[in-house]
């Protein structure tokens, strides 16, 4: 069940207006699952399915943090720590680092915008990551999910519940920034 638009800001005047993000969980709906791997050596785009779930566990002054689980194609679920920011206008900047952290690992950057579609908020996000031999690009209108909604019990593309999908990524609460 999505948060009703009437209970959320249509536009924000301050970063405090986005504090409702704390404790929310976001997922990629079926329409947003396609992502692409670019293989420069073959100059080829390869379609792949990407289900990503964010659990935002904290929010302060326009910054939020939490954990992310993602499944790209047939790969196993990967875990990331998430740190993001949201402006009063709803512009989003996301940074993902490996969880648990590994020195020298690749950081993934994403950008987005909070968009009111119908009667619910979405995160229209884009990300890109990879190396010189292959890059992954993905965008989607991510949606809220919570216990009681169909997506909570069966995520599109993976058929797993959110708790099962996030299980290995949520074994410890993220640190609260000082």
Q: Tell me: the pLDDT tens digits for 55-73?
A: 999 999 999 999 999 999 9
CATH of the domain at 84: 2.40.160
- Local confidence band at 11 (pLDDT 50, 70, 90 cut-offs): low
DSSP output for 88-128: TT-EEEEEEEESS--TTPPPEEEEEEEEEETTEEEEEEEEE
Q: Is residue 139 part of a domain?
A: yes
Whole-number percent of the chain with pLDDT over 70: 88
Number of domains in the chain: 1
Q: Is residue 49 part of a domain?
A: yes
Question: What pLDDT score was predicted for residue 1?
Answer: 42
The closest of 30, 25, 65, 66 to 51, measured between CA atoms, is: 30
Q: Is residue 107 part of a domain?
A: yes
Predicted TM-score of the model (pTM):
0.87
- On the question of pLDDT at 177 being above 90, the answer is no
**Encoding tokens for residue 132?**
């010189």
CA-based radius of gyration for the chain: 16
- Local confidence band at 105 (pLDDT 50, 70, 90 cut-offs): confident
Higher pLDDT, 85 or 105: 85
Residue 85: which domain range?
Answer: 5-169
Q: Tell me: the pLDDT tens digits for 107-127?
A: 899 999 999 998 899 999 999
Question: What pLDDT score was predicted for residue 106?
Answer: 83
Q: Tell me: the pLDDT tens digits for 141-174?
A: 999 999 999 999 999 999 999 999 999 898 654 4
Q: Is residue 178 part of a domain?
A: no
Total length of the chain: 178
Across the chain, what does the average pLDDT equal?
A: 90
The closest of 67, 78, 64 to 177, measured between CA atoms, is: 64
């Amino acid at each position: 069940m999505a948060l009703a638009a009437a209970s959320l800001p249509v536009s924000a005047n301050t970063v405090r207006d986005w504090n409702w993000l704390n404790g929310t969980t976001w997922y990629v709906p079926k329409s947003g699952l396609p992502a692409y791997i670019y293989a420069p050596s073959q100059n080829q785009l390869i379609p792949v399915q990407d289900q990503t779930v964010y659990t935002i566990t904290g929010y302060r002054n326009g910054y939020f943090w939490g954990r992310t689980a993602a499944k790209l194609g047939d790969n196993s679920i990967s875990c990331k720590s998430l740190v993001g920011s949201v402006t009063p206008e709803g512009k989003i900047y996301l940074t993902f680092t490996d969880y648990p952290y590994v020195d020298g690992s690749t950081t993934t950057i994403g950008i987005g915008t909070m968009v009111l579609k119908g009667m619910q908020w979405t995160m229209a996000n884009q990300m890109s990551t990879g190396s010189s031999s292959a890059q992954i690009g993905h965008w989607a209108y991510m949606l809220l999910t919570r216990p009681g909604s169909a997506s909570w019990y069966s995520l599109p593309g993976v058929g797993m519940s959110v708790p099962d999908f996030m299980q290995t990524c949520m074994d410890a609460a993220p640190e609260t920034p000082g």
